[in-house]
Copies of this chain bind each other. A is one copy, B any other.
């Protein structure tokens, strides 16, 4: 039954009961005090274990309502927001970088709701893997940040990750067909299907940046489950 009982043991035992349908979907499971008594540990240990399972979507907890096994477990996928250069290196390829453009320009109207109207710094750059185009970075950046910083050696992506912290952001994947410009810069046939990632980040003081990363054909973004 019990013995050496760490919170991970409690978590594993609970997970076992969930998977074995001993605690079936919709069921209310015993309360923390009862489990602590049964497993021979402190209530805080049970709490730690069940909180962990709740965060992972395996349980639903409510004060007074008790802890239940959800009817449809909501699993979460996570992926790390990394520096592109490191992404490329992690694939065993040699990263490269080329700045294509950098200058103040009026923000396109579709982005006004996210960034506001006023002009912003518009940066375009190409990331390379083993000399081949890897992804195109198309960024609008709040000009108050990174004043005097040139992005010809280090990408805006990398500089921002290390120098500006944000409080909020959103991120979206979609697919884009290569127009003539994209096809030329990514060295692919026009019409190719390209995985694209849009990201907006904000700080308390205001918008930081909007960026679109258009990946070369065939690119996959993998996530843990």
Q: Which residues of B contact A77 (CB under 8 A)?
A: 78-81, 171
Q: Name the prevailing secondary structure of the A interface residues.
A: strand
Q: Please tell me if A76 contacts chain B, counting CB pairs below 8 Å.
A: yes
Do the beta carbons of B172 and A71 come within 8 Å of each other? no
Q: Which of A165-215 contact B (CB under 8 A)?
A: 165, 167-177, 191-196, 198-199, 201, 215
Stretch at the interface among A91-99, A103-111, A217-225: A217-225
Q: 3 tightest A-B contacts by CB? A: A169-B225, A193-B193, A175-B175
Residues of A at under 8 Å CB distance from B?
18-19, 25, 71-83, 158, 161-162, 165, 167-177, 191-196, 198-199, 201, 215, 217-225
Question: Could you pull out 27 A-B pairs where Cβ atoms are within 8 angstroms?
Answer: A18-B165, A25-B162, A72-B162, A74-B80, A74-B81, A76-B78, A76-B80, A77-B78, A77-B79, A77-B80, A77-B81, A77-B171, A81-B225, A170-B223, A170-B225, A171-B222, A171-B224, A171-B225, A173-B223, A174-B195, A174-B218, A175-B175, A175-B219, A176-B193, A177-B193, A192-B193, A195-B195
